A and B are shown apart, each in its own frame.
Chain A
Amino acid sequence: MRKLLLESLFGGPATEAAPAPGDAELAEVGRALERETGRRLGRSLSIREVDAGSCNACELEIHALANAYYDMERFGIRFVASPRHADVLLVTGPVTKNMREALERTYRATPAPKWVVAVGDCALNGGLFRDSYACLGGVGAVVPVDLHIPGCPPSPVQLLRGLLALLERNAR
């Protein structure tokens, strides 16, 4: 173990430069934050992730944000275990009818000010599952959405870009 630790110590960081937040995300987030002017969270975001029917691909890429290459904690972004500690709900999936109540209750348990970021193509409008008897057709059908990060699944860079946009606007 010692050798591995020393190598990591002297090998230089694996972490890569952050992507710039995209203009589209900044504009979308800007609209969302105008509603919450006057209340600032500083340069930090606590995120509660909610899988509302995803195929788990979005979760895999959200997980990747924590690996050494993306290291999202350097931006003050961290995932928390309870919605009561969260500023942001990161919601994936077409929202299955069986998950509706759980999503609503998670939203209600999150203290204001709060933002909802819908992740993935399904979360926008249900994607491929839109017409199913078992799905509601997107996160917006259940809770108000402030930012949508598209992709099937979005890559970690796309996810970071969206979250950094939220952070940038928030800090201004």
Chain B
Amino acid sequence: MASGIQTFLTAGAPQAAGPWPRAEVDEAAWQSATGRLAAGDWVLFGLWGDVNRVHMAVLDEEGTPGILTLPCAGGFPSVGASHSPAIRLERAIKDLFGHEPVGAPDERPWLDHGHWGVTHPLGAATPSPADGVAYPFLPAEGPGLHQIPVGPVHAGIIEPGHFRFTANGETVVRLEERLGYVHKGIEGLMAGADLSRGARLAGRTSGDSTVAYAYAFARAAEAACGAEPLPRAAWLRALMAEMERLANHFGDIGAICNDAAFVLMHAHCGMLRERVLRAADACFGHRLMRDRIVPGGVASDLGAAGAEVLRGLVRHVRSTFPALVRLYDDTASLQDRTVATGILTQDLARQYGCSGYVGRASGRDFDARRALAYAPYDKLSFNVPVRSEGDVDARVRIRIAEVDESLSLIEQILDGLPAGPIFGELPVGSSGEGAAVVEGFRGDVLLWLRLDPAGRIARCHLRDPSWFQWPVLEAAIEGNIVADFPLCNKSFNCSYSGHDL
């Protein structure tokens, strides 16, 4: 019984797949896999629709990835019925493709708010009224309870989403999220696009992770074409990914402290973030390094002057950041807000397979750069910080530790950067499928694509880490005061756009 995903899949009909095994299975096997997820043996890594099929990516007890595919005409056995991390993914599958998760505990639409003028846009695509549908929130009843609706337009400069708080006085009894406001139809636009347009779309899935998405897309496309990334390009990609991580972690550390009204930290971290973006602009010609990673390689090389800029940046951060960490450590009034606030339990982090600082602050020792090591991380040395407290403070401290690791990685990459070309055309007209996972600053980004015989994208699925972080934020905020929600929310910093697609 204790078989890993490999043996499990050999029982099905193996498909020619990218780097990971994929097999078509029957309903019994699908349900058996669901049982393994519910038992906590496996981790749900992704769940997405396709024409007449649904795909489920899992990590088995060894951390080995694999994909199960269930042919379906109309319906499939709900995974969410026994494994709640799947619920929102299934609601999205139903909205986009029309496949019905049979036995699902929540039948409400998720991404479809009734405004598209079309139902099941990636499936049968039938025209429908576009005047919106009412959305029933889950009830919370009792003496003294009141509701606070927030969003989709928020008071700060953040992305749109709706939060429905039920509170007893100041204490949050229930938070329910409603997302989908920034659904742009990215997976619909992917269908029929060539790889170059696909890469640009992927890089606009979540702007703060533009490098991570373009990186994942390029690797999946290369896997689909049977091509290996060029060594220098692979190293430059990792360099950009670490720069992106640095910039976002500085932004987050400052913004979390700002939400606890500690502006000094925000001001200093904001300057560090700006330094990183300017260095990125100087080295790669774009502050966020957008469209710099392309299938086949990278779009800009790093010269000697650029390398010197980066070494200067590392020196600057090392000389200024420790004082900020001490400031965080020494400010009791700040820690009063962050310690023991918004606790995510280790059980929930494990069950949901939370990645990034959310999972690592709650004891889940997972980092795709190590667990599913890809070039050049297999040749670099770094630590993966893990904590067990699961509060806002732990999520700050994971980021602080990761800043140090990224600085070291940037130095290692500069020291070991191989010479050679940075771009090679992928074989024209290759068809196939590929999957890739990239550790973005927020967590692991999963990308799966299938190319048609003309080399165009037949289906591309992009799974943001936020899918497994948003739901547990609802749990982490319970019992906290309403005024601490911005603090908790920022410490998670889930992506709306990456989730809504």
Contact = CB atoms under 8 A, between A and B. Distances in A.
B274 A69 contact: yes
Interface stretch (B10-18, B55-63, B262-270): B262-270
Nearest to A80: B155
A101 to B, nearest CB: 7
A17 interface: no
Nearest to A135: B184
Nearest to B271: A68
Contact of A128 (B159, B200, B264, B288): B200
B121 A96 contact: no
Contact of B206 (A56, A58, A82): A56
A138 interface: no
Contact of B497 (A54, A67, A106, A135): A54
Interface in B160-194: 160, 180-186, 188-189
Contacts of B379: none
Contacts of A94: 184
A4 B169 CA distance: 39
A134 to B, nearest CB: 4
Contact of A5 (B181, B210, B264): B264
Nearest to B184: A129
A57 B208 contact: yes
Interface in A138-172: 152-153, 155
A81 B156 contact: yes
Nearest to B179: A98
B288 A49 contact: no
A114 interface: no
Contact of B204 (A14, A64, A67, A128): A128
Contacts of B184: 53, 55, 94, 96, 129, 132, 134-135
Contacts of A3: 323
Nearest to A81: B155
Interface in A42-87: 49-64, 66-69, 79, 81-83
A55 B271 contact: no
B83 interface: no
A97 interface: yes
Given A4-B264, A56-B496, A57-B288, A67 B116 contact: no
Contacts of A51: 157-160, 182
A10 interface: no
B155 A54 contact: no
Q: Which of A57, A58, A59 has the largest number of chain B CB atoms within 10 A? A: A57
A79 B157 contact: yes
A34 B300 CA distance: 44
B157 A59 contact: yes
Given A49-B157, A133-B116, A133-B121, 11 more contacts: A1-B327, A1-B331, A4-B327, A61-B287, A94-B184, A98-B113, A98-B180, A98-B182, A133-B118, A134-B116, A135-B184
21 contacts: A4-B327, A5-B264, A14-B271, A50-B153, A53-B184, A54-B207, A55-B184, A55-B204, A56-B496, A57-B204, A59-B158, A61-B287, A63-B251, A64-B270, A67-B267, A68-B270, A79-B157, A96-B181, A96-B184, A102-B181, A129-B184
Interface of B: 113, 115-118, 121, 125, 130, 132, 152-153, 155-160, 180-186, 188-189, 197, 200-201, 204-208, 210, 251, 264, 267-268, 270-271, 273-274, 277, 281, 287-288, 290, 323-324, 327, 330-331, 495-497
